[in-house]
A and B are shown apart, each in its own frame.
Chain A
Amino acid sequence: MLPPFDLLPTLVRGLRVTIGLTLAASTLALIVAVIAGVARTSKNPLISGIVGFYVELFRGTSVLVQMFWIFFVLPIPPFNISLSPFLAGVIALGLNVGAYGSEVVRGAIQAISRSQIEAGIALNFTPTQRMTRIILPQAMVRILPPFGNLLIELLKSTALVSLITLSDLTFQALTLRQTVGRTTEVFAVLLIMYFLLAYPLTLGVRWVEGRRVWA
């Protein structure tokens, strides 16, 4: 194949890892964000306290430090939890982005007007029904654009897993640089590939924002 297309087979192998990692980590982040976001609004100080500690811990430190901690510290005693690089990447990115996402969820829940909750009480909805039938459906609509932005951030952060030996897109590019040389070409193609992944998401977020007639 003509250069620079001869680099693609190797990079595409890494691309698969990057996409798989993004999907797995964003699923985890979504679940964590919703649970933590709802739990943070809890009236029980123990629940909101524990969740608050998790959120501030992950927002207050660096994602790379978190990833290294999970990958290098958890395997040793007293934890003895060995994780594959992929799983460590998913957990670090999922918990980190989930912490940011939970703040989005919390903000959206708190933005739901009080009368909606009062109406739910008046209509004899249980607290669970109020949350799942009234508050969350309205909050979900508001959180779509910020979640889109977080997904883009997560996608870009997946490049960090190359530093814990996972052979993602960036890792493959670094390998190519060492084996094939052609540094400029390799990194230019790499940047373009990330751009082609992330930019459609950016456009999608803008489209959703433009259509937001309900907010």
Chain B
Amino acid sequence: MVTFDWEFAWEILPQLLEAMVVTIEATVVGFAFAAVLGLLLALGRRSETWWISRPAGAIVEFVRSTPLLVQLFFLFYVLPRYGVRLPAFVVGVIGLGLHYGSYTSEVYRAGIDAIARGQWEAATALNFSQRHKWTKIILPQAIPPMLPALGNYLVAMFKETPLLAAITVVEMFQRAKIISSLTFRPLEPYTLVGVLFFVLSFPSALLIQRLEARFGTR
């Protein structure tokens, strides 16, 4: 009977940890992209100019309604046909950022909508410029309560990074796949990857719960 081989697990752990660096890089860069894109999309949707608000809304609805995996395939296979040749990692990060940007835009939108009307009127009454109204009054109040929701999407994105394996990025999951096909032992690599995901995402989820308690929002 074959059971979990601890020695083998110990042997492959360094390789997986090395690949985990790629996973974390993809998460951090992808989420930074998503956070900025989401804000732009949320502001775009609020625009009074229809040719900005309509496309921004359409992008959010379309991206949210289609699978990340298909979006990754689309970017990975279609972009090179139009002369855009990017490393798989970059394509993956763009895909993650685009997908989660459409989710974070809804968080920003709800957060901005939650700011009381009086704040806007006060900013106008005090003759703040459009830019100062946003950067000094609205966003500083709107962003802290959004942090838990943004954090949840960060963890969700982290758990979706294995999809990058499908477009040849050698992150943690792809490394486990390679090990398993070379050694014909799927048990240890896949179990370890699961454990590694868990030890990172579970404490993060607890941390976000504490953030939620602190800001008193959901």
Contact = CB atoms under 8 A, between A and B. Distances in A.
Given A78-B1, A170-B69, A191-B71, A59 B205 contact: yes
A159 B70 contact: yes
Interface residues of A, number: 40
B77 A187 contact: yes
Interface string A193-206: 01100110010000
A103 B166 CA distance: 30
Contacts of A156: 65-68
B197 A62 contact: yes
Contacts of B215: none
A163 B197 contact: no
Given A72-B190, A73-B190, A163 B166 contact: yes
B198 A199 contact: no
Interface stretch (B32-40, B41-49, B83-91, B155-163): B155-163
Among A60, A76, A177, A190, max chain B CB count under 10 A is at A60
A195 B177 CA distance: 30
A160 B163 contact: yes
At the interface, is chain A mostly helix, strand, loop or mixed?
helix
B96 to A, nearest CB: 13
A187 B65 contact: no
Nearest 8 pairs of A and B residues by beta carbon: A159-B67, A198-B65, A156-B67, A72-B186, A60-B198, A62-B159, A159-B69, A64-B162
B202 A65 contact: no
B62 interface: yes
Contact of A57 (B68, B159, B198): B198
B68 A73 contact: no
Interface residues of B, number: 39
A207 interface: no
Interface in B160-205: 160-163, 165-166, 173, 177, 180, 186-187, 190-191, 193-194, 197-198, 201-202, 205
Contact of A170 (B67, B77, B180, B194): B67
B218 to A, nearest CB: 10
Nearest to A152: B65
Given A57-B198, A184-B78, A191-B74, A76 B65 contact: no
Nearest to A177: B77
A68 interface: yes
Contacts of B67: 156-159, 170, 194
A118 interface: no
A61 interface: yes
A190 B78 contact: no
Contact of A199 (B3, B61, B77, B165): B61
Given A78-B2, A184-B78, A191-B74, A63 B190 contact: no
B81 interface: yes
Contacts of A68: 173, 177, 186, 190
Interface string A146-173: 0000001000111110110000001001
A188 B81 CA distance: 14
Contacts of A63: 159
B73 interface: yes
Contacts of B205: 59-60
